Structures are given as structure tokens and as C-alpha cells.
Amino acid sequence: MSKLRSNQRWSNRFSLTSVTRALRTRPTLVAGIAVLLALLLVATFAFARPGGGQGYSGPSSSPSGGSGGGDDGLLMIFFLLLQLCFEHPVIGIPLMIIFLVVVGVSALLKMRRRSYGDWESGVSPSPARPVQHPVPMQAIAARPHAPATPGSALQAIRGFDPNFSTVLFEDFLYSLFAEVHRARGGNRLDRLSAYLAPAAMAYLAQRQTAEVHGVIVGAMRIVHVSGVGPSDAYVQVNVEFEANYTERAQPQGAPQGLYVMEQWHLTRKHGPLSRAPAQASVLACPSCGAPLDVVTAGRCSHCSQQVNSGAFDWTVQGIQLVRRETRGPMLTSNVPEQGTNLPTVFDPQVQQASAALAARDPQFRWDTFQARVGLIFAEFQTAWSARNLAAMRPFLSDALFQTQAYWVEAYKQQRLRNVTERTRITGVEVAKVGSDRFYDAITVRLRATGLDYTIAEDGNRIVSGSNSRERAYTEYWTLIRGSGRSAPTRTDKACSNCGAPLQVNMAGYCEYCKAKVTTGEFDWVLSKIEQDEAYRG
């Protein structure tokens, strides 16, 4: 991906006089300069995000680093083209016309992006706006509602499967994706044949390699849901993944970092109930629960059932590789925020769902929930900058924690440290409230600002970002909590179960009461972070 660097100018390498002299004395350079100008135009207007964009921005604890100040480069291009118009009008005049058209179109696009909302992507010199209280709910009801999304269509599954939980389904998808790709390494795909239809198995067999490890899903989106009507026999879900992993083609070969985007098509028959949380995270025979080792070519030798048909649990029917690039984590890219000015995506049922949550749990209060979001935000930033995961562990679900651990380790391996300073929340909007048999979930659009830069360990030199210029950004945060919970939301650093001082090991267990506090069973934990330009509701 291209990297936009605001302080890199042509004047560092060339002067206008020297370029003009070269054009006069060596006409063969004219074509080369024209091509260079075209390339620079493309680079000037390109957008880049670590991990390939579309919301997969690498470490999701902080904004994705940015760049600006491209006006100097444009001015230099303009003067070069102006000089070229005088010296070589046949070439210079057409290039000048193209340049002016591109600049004009870019300006129009920027104006349109600003019209999307009242929030600016830069930081205003005025004091930060106060955090927006998510009540009264009349304010939410007055906002324009978005059309039905695949995420909301997914909830219709509960019409024939009251155990269905979006939280558990997403955890299952994260786990299955990682296990499938790890199984591609070393010819071990048959171990997962219980969840892979023959067509998916055949496709994955073509991509077998010696080893796959370090599988991290950076973004996952439900893109299509069908078959949820009363007359349908099977529900069908299309899921898009963006991920990084490391692959080794030969046993003694060099490891290769990869970025991939894949679409998976899954089906499941109406009738079977989804598994409860205690069993949902375990990949076993979908029919009898026997270990996967007894399943061969989709048939379980323990219960004698063909279990990869979708009759018992979700089965991957097909996989499409949308994109594959040879690259590891991009940790020093400067990229602009892409969705800060987009309007907030509100779920059409947010008002009713919020009222229902308050009715089920009289001790729930929006102000204390918002205070807990602030506590998690502050602990997250501190732990992230220190590359010390212990402080953030009590507040993150297992899946999100594993993702952050991957990125922290990536920074350590490259002897880098991403620093966030003076970070603060400037606004919170409740975008979605959901509940199922096992979990309550609240998605908020969090607006924040602060310093974001990356330094190298050798001398603490800044390799990307700025330690003096703040930048504003927004993200969608989803927090989950056990649906049977009715207790005040904790806003201090204490165990959500026993109230002891917060001492949680990396597995998520309290050192005092031995309860696993990162499942959300006892209080709200952060389960998912989505970039604003990728969130669909």
C-alpha cells in the first residue's frame, strides 16, 4: 500500500531550476517527467490503511495514523506543469488540463464528505464537546433510521432457534476460520471435515501448505443472510473475512506474511438449537460431541452420522478468495481517517431495545455504563502504549484480546512502539442494543481525539504519526454482558465478580475468586472494535 508522507517534497531532491534546465537540454526527459507527474498525482490522492483498508486497520486500539500537508506537492506540480506549458506546449497543456480536472474533482469529493455530518476530521481549537449522553431515547428515535442490515436479518434466526446468539456465532466463526487455515498446514484438513462440505474441502486442499500460524482476523462482516422464513429448510449466511497469517510453503522454507480477504458461505438446517456458551467454543462432532479425531470425510465413527451437511451445525459450503497479498503487519503507515464524517449507523430498533434492557435490569443506568466505557478506553490506551497487556486483559473478550496480543507482539518484533497520548473521548452515541438468551450487547459510536505516533526503540525516533498534532477519529465499540445479570455496572478497577482488587491472569481468570471475568458473565467487557467506514450495523 502507498504511504502518504506530508513532509516529503520534491524540493528535497530537485529544484525547479534544475528540472527546467534538464528539460531544455535533454528533451528525452520530457516523457519521463510526464509519467512522473502522473504517478505523483495518483499518490497525492491515494488512500491507504494498514491491512488493506475497508476497516481492517491493524491495531484497533487507536486511530490509524495520518498524513496531510499535500498542498506543497500540488503547488510544485503546478509550477512544473506551467513551465512545461511554455517550453513544450504540446505536452504541457494537456497535462495541465488533466491536473486541473483531477484537483477539481478531488475538491468536490472532499466537500461532499464534509457534508455527511457535523463532525470535522481535524481537531477544533475550541474545547472538546462533552460526551453525549445516550438518553433521552426520544433523541435517538428522531434520528433517521438505516434500512435493514444483514446483521439485523441474522436476528430472525431466533424465530426457529431461540438459543441463537450473534455473540456466540461470531466467536464460532473467528475460531473456525483460524482452525481451518491452521489445518491447511501439514495436510490436516480432514480433522475439520465435520464443518467443511466436500466443495469447501476440495478448494482448501488446493491451497495446502507446510505450515500456517499466527492467524488473526482483523475484520469480519456478515454480508448476506437468507433462508430465515417459516417455509425455508436451511438458513444461509455469507461472511467476509479480512485476516493476516504467516505461511510456510516448504518445511524448511522461509515464513511469509500474508493478508487475505475471503468470503465464506455457510448453511445450517432449521431445527437444531445452537449450543450454550460453555459448549459453543469447542469444535467437536456436531451430532454427538465426540472429539474431531473420530470424524473422517465428514462422517463420525462414534455416532455414525454424516455431520458435514449442515443438518446438525453450521457447515462451510464454499469459500471464495477475494484478495491475497504477500505482506505482514504494516506498522509504520501514515493513512487518513476514512469514515469520521460519515453519519452514525443507528439500528432501527435501538429505542425499543434500550427500553427493554432497562426494564429487564432496573439497576442498569446509562451514565454508569458510559463511565465504564471511559474506564475501558483509558486502560486500553495506557496498556497499548506500554505494550503491556495485563492492564487491558480484564476488559477484553478472549477473541479481541488475542487480536491485540498479535499486534503488540508484531510491534515488539519490529522493535517499534505505537504511542497514544492525551487521548480522550469527545462523544458517545448508542447505535445498537441487542439481547438474546445468553448476552446483552450494546454498540456505541465512540468519538475520540489525541496524539498517535510510532517510535523506534533505537533512539525513540518517530517513524510515523505526530507527537504534536492531534487527530480525531471514531470507532464502533460493542460491549457484551451476560443477559441474566442484574447488578450495578462497575466503574472502578475491581473484579466484576468478587470486588477484589483487579488481578486477572492472561487467561481471563480472577486471581482471588478464580472466576473467568472476560466472558461478560459478570459485567460489560469490550467484545469488538469496528472502523466507522466498515460498520454496517
Other CB atoms within 10 Å distance of the CB of residue 94: 13
> Under DSSP, is residue 181 helix (H, G, I), strand (E, B) or coil?
helix
Residue 216 has pLDDT above 60, yes or no: yes
Angle between helix axes 89-114 and 29-45 (nearest 10 degrees) is 0
Confidence of residue 324 (pLDDT cuts 50, 70, 90): very high
pLDDT digits (tens, 9 = 90+) for 77-109: 766 677 777 777 777 787 878 777 766 666 554
Domain architecture of the chain: domains with CATH: 10-114 (no CATH), 163-326 (3.10.450), 331-531 (3.10.450.240)
**What pLDDT was estimated at residue 152?**
74
**441: which residues sit within 8 A by CB, 6+ positions away?**
166, 167, 432, 433, 434, 435, 478, 479, 480, 481, 527
Q: What is the mean pLDDT of the chain?
A: 78
- Closest Cα to residue 93, out of 34, 45, 23? 34
Find the range with the poorest average confidence among 47-56, 136-145, 232-241. 47-56
For residue 453, the cross-strand partners are: 419, 465
User: What is the rounded average pLDDT of the residues 235-252?
Assistant: 92
pTM of the model: 0.71
Please determine, for residue 14, whether its predicted confidence score (pLDDT) is greater than 60. no
Strand arrangement of the beta sheet that strand 315-326 belongs to:
211-226, 234-248, 256-269, 315-326
Is the separation of the CB atoms in 269 and 237 below 8 Å? no
Q: Which residue bears the cell 443506568?
A: 365
